[in-house]
Amino acid sequence: MGDTNLNYLIIGLVLVIIMLVYFKYNEIQNKKDFIKKVKKQWGNIPNRNYTQDQITGIKRYFLNKSKNQFIIDDVTWNDLDMDSIFMMLNNTNSSIGEQYLYYMLRTPSFTQEELEERKKVIDYLEQNEEVRIQLQCMYGEIGRSGNYSLSDYIYNLTELGDKSNLFEYGIMGLAFLSVIFALTIPTYGVLIFVGVLIFNIVQYYRCKGAVEPYFVSIAYINRLLIGSATFIKAMPSELKEYADKVDTVRGQFKKFKKHARWIKAGKKATGSFEEIAMDYIKMFFHIDLIKFNYLLKEVKQKVTYIDELIETMGKIESCIAIASFREYLEYYSIPKLINDEQVSINADDMYHPMISNPVTNSISETSSVLLTGSNASGKSTFLKTVAINAILAQTIYMAMAKSYQSNFYRVYSSMALTDNLMSNESYYIVEIKSLKRILDAAREEPPILCFIDEVLRGTNTIERIAASAQILKSLSQKNVMCFAATHDIELTHILEKLYHNYHFEEEVKDNDILFNYELKIGRATSRNAIKLLHIIGYDKSIIEQAEEAAADFIENNSWRILK
């Protein structure tokens, strides 16, 4: 009998060793696969689809953190499709990295020191692959928080109020008593045990349902704290200040990890016997709920430290993503940003980062700019190109240009507006409100760089030109550089002493209209609206009569009455 037991023991030990070796092998293999993945992704645009819930969750950190500072407002952000720019850049592996990257893109810096520090981190991570991959593996283990917004739950934990463990301790005591009854009085004790088990499980799900979303926060904070140890070890002497910040925060959470190991979040499961057994133990004794209530108090007391941890570690991962984006670009430059009374912008061979094989354009101006040109000639794209580069210059400290110099600007736009059906507002009302926010902002410092596509397109010609001229005049003041696109040639004459005229032009060839998208000095002299009618195949009589009417108006400055 003794030999048999020994044999069973040996077999059991062998099986345990095999399982441990198997799990360790999987761990090593998973890490190798992850390293292959991050190496393959380096210098490429991430291939990832986003749900609206995910974008909303990513945005929450920015909404909670951006207080009392200039931000790229929603109108400008949407006009420039900056969500797509963010997605191009977002080569991160954790929620803290992508949330901080989004925050960075929406909060331009106005100090050279901050941008130079950002560049130092990006340069180091770009040039040191071993450190970078070590950090990327750590961020991969931290992972993402799913559709839950980590920022929301951390900032809103105070709303839960203090929770007493009195009920949970009562549940635990009941569970222990039922076990004792089951062991000492099996006849009735087993029935008592089953009844208590069912009661405790029902109460467990009732209590857990109210706080389960916050389990995500606790579990994620725990992963952050575990990852922070790797972060500190990986940080080189050149970036020691970041390791020191994280180390200081870790010192505030010495007991957190011990309690947080009971907290599991999400539906991911291995299905192992150990995991299933632990789940039933937690349901029976409410251990994770007791631990949660303890950890909740600690998190509420130390939310500032958690925010510092998220910011410091998120900042480093966002810099990894920016370094990867550098590798993707054909060329870029480090912008020269100045504080000067004279507004200006100088860019050579500037391009839009989202356009394949883009046509580059250069501009050097100290005056506001009025753009004219035919439909689809490139006016709107050029406005967006300048605006996006201005934002990227003050956020990721890069410009998609051979060289770029400008003031530190607050960037605003009024371009892709629509009717606001929810507020019962017409396009015109939406438009004039959008323009007024720019005029109001222009009263303050720092200077404004604004972009307007088709001023007051939502009203009649006479009032549009009259009002547009005065609005654009106001936006040509000392503290503003305005780029405006218009089809109203009259404005190029009315404002020629305040705005420098530029245009895009087209070429009609073989029954087609060709655009070269090259910026040219001066106002546009050609029109293509009627030509497009011909190319599309409109009736010849419509085209001829339209051309005659246009020529007559140019000569007589009045429209003929049609019969």
Q: Are residues 376 and 504 in the same domain?
A: yes
For residues 25 and 439, which has the higher predicted lDDT (pLDDT)?
439
Helix (H, G, I), strand (E, B) or coil at 71: coil
Domain that holds residue 160: 48-328
Assigned domain for 5 exists: yes
What's the domain count of the chain?
3
For residues 26 and 108, which has the higher predicted lDDT (pLDDT)?
108
Neighbouring C-beta atoms of residue 503, cutoff 10 Å: 23
E strand or H helix at 250: helix 240-250
Assigned domain for 547 exists: no
For residues 518 and 169, which has the higher predicted lDDT (pLDDT)?
518
323, pLDDT greater than 90: yes
Q: Are residues 445 and 422 in the same domain?
A: yes
Highest mean pLDDT: which range of 151-165, 325-339, 543-557:
325-339
Residue 159 Cα distances to 43, 304, 535, angstroms: 42, 16, 63
Q: Are strands 448-453 and 480-485 parallel, antiparallel or unpaired?
A: parallel
For residue 422, name the pLDDT band (cuts at 50, 70, 90).
very low
Any residues with CB less than 8 A from the CB of 61 and at least 6 apart, and which?
Answer: 99, 100, 102, 103, 149, 150, 151, 310
Question: CA-to-CA distance for 377 and 518, rounded, in angstroms?
Answer: 9
For residue 271, name the pLDDT band (cuts at 50, 70, 90).
very low
CA 44, distance to chain mean position in Å, is 18
17, pLDDT greater than 90: no
Any residues with CB less than 8 A from the CB of 455 and at least 6 apart, and which?
Answer: 435, 464, 468, 471, 472, 484, 486, 488, 491
Neighbouring C-beta atoms of residue 537, cutoff 10 Å: 7
Q: Are residues 373 and 408 in the same domain?
A: yes
Q: Are strands 499-504 and 410-414 parallel, antiparallel or unpaired?
A: unpaired
2, pLDDT greater than 80: no
Q: Is the peptide bond before 446 cis (omega within 30 degrees of 0)?
A: yes
Q: Are residues 480 and 353 in the same domain?
A: yes
31, pLDDT greater than 50: yes
Assigned domain for 482 exists: yes
Assigned domain for 444 exists: yes
Q: Are strands 480-485 and 368-373 parallel, antiparallel or unpaired?
A: parallel
93, pLDDT greater than 50: yes
Q: Are residues 438 and 511 in the same domain?
A: yes
CA-based nearest residue to 167, from 159, 179, 175: 175
Across 450-486, b (16+ Cβ under 10 Å) vs e yields: bbbbbbbeebeeeebbeebbebbbebbbebbbbbbbb
pLDDT score recorded for residue 4: 67
Assigned domain for 389 exists: yes
pLDDT tens-digit series, residues 144-173: 877 667 777 777 666 676 677 777 778 788
Any residues with CB less than 8 A from the CB of 274 and at least 6 apart, and which?
Answer: none
Task: Let me know: does 137 contact 35? Beta carbons within 8 Å.
Answer: yes
Rounded mean pLDDT, 481-495: 93
Rounded mean pLDDT, 336-359: 95
Assigned domain for 559 exists: no
End-to-end, the C-alpha distance of the chain in Å comes to 116
Any residues with CB less than 8 A from the CB of 387 and at least 6 apart, and which?
Answer: 76, 79, 80, 411, 413, 449, 451, 483
Provide, rounded to the nearest whole percent, the portion of the chain with pLDDT above 90: 47
Task: Let me know: does 487 contact 518? Beta carbons within 8 Å.
Answer: no
φ, ψ of residue 421 in degrees (nearest 5) = -70, -30
Question: CA-to-CA distance for 150 and 56, rounded, in angstroms?
Answer: 11
> Where a domain ends, among 328, 346, 373?
328
Q: Are residues 193 and 287 in the same domain?
A: yes
Average pLDDT, the chain: 86
Q: Are residues 175 and 274 in the same domain?
A: yes
Provide, rounded to the nearest whole percent, the portion of the chain with pLDDT above 70: 92
Handedness of CA 311, 313, 318, 323 (dihedral sign): positive
The first and second tokens of residue 134, run together, are 């070590």
Q: Are residues 290 and 405 in the same domain?
A: no
Assigned domain for 558 exists: no
Rounded mean pLDDT, 273-293: 74
The first and second tokens of residue 532, run together, are 């497009």
φ, ψ of residue 275 in degrees (nearest 5) = -65, -45
Question: CA-to-CA distance for 139 and 234, rounded, in angstroms?
Answer: 12
Rounded mean pLDDT, 86-108: 96
Of the candidate ranges 204-218, 219-233, 429-443, 487-501, the one whose mean pLDDT is the lowest: 204-218
What's the CATH code of the domain at 73? Answer: 1.10.1420
Question: CA-to-CA distance for 298 and 169, rounded, in angstroms?
Answer: 19
Highest mean pLDDT: which range of 181-195, 219-233, 381-395, 488-502:
381-395
> Where a domain ends, among 262, 296, 328?
328
Q: Are residues 304 and 381 in the same domain?
A: no
Any residues with CB less than 8 A from the CB of 327 and at least 6 apart, and which?
Answer: 42, 43, 126
Long-range CB contact pairs, 191-200, < 8 A, 24+: 197/284, 199/174, 200/171, 200/174, 200/175, 200/283, 200/284, 200/285, 200/286
Farthest-apart Cα atoms in the chain, separation? 118
Helix (H, G, I), strand (E, B) or coil at 77: helix
Assigned domain for 542 exists: no
CA-based nearest residue to 139, from 301, 268, 324: 324
The first and second tokens of residue 330, run together, are 């054909």
For residue 266, name the pLDDT band (cuts at 50, 70, 90).
low
φ, ψ of residue 217 in degrees (nearest 5) = -65, -50
Of the candidate ranges 38-52, 253-267, 480-494, 542-556, the one whose mean pLDDT is the lowest: 253-267
Q: Which residues, listed in sequence order, are joined to residue 399 by a DSSP beta bridge? A: 333
What's the CATH code of the domain at 381? Answer: 3.40.50.300
Neighbouring C-beta atoms of residue 176, cutoff 10 Å: 12
Rounded mean pLDDT, 472-489: 92
Q: Are residues 16 and 132 in the same domain?
A: no
Q: Are residues 256 and 403 in the same domain?
A: no
Task: Let me know: does 492 contact 510? Beta carbons within 8 Å.
Answer: no
Q: Are residues 166 and 277 in the same domain?
A: yes
pLDDT score recorded for residue 308: 94
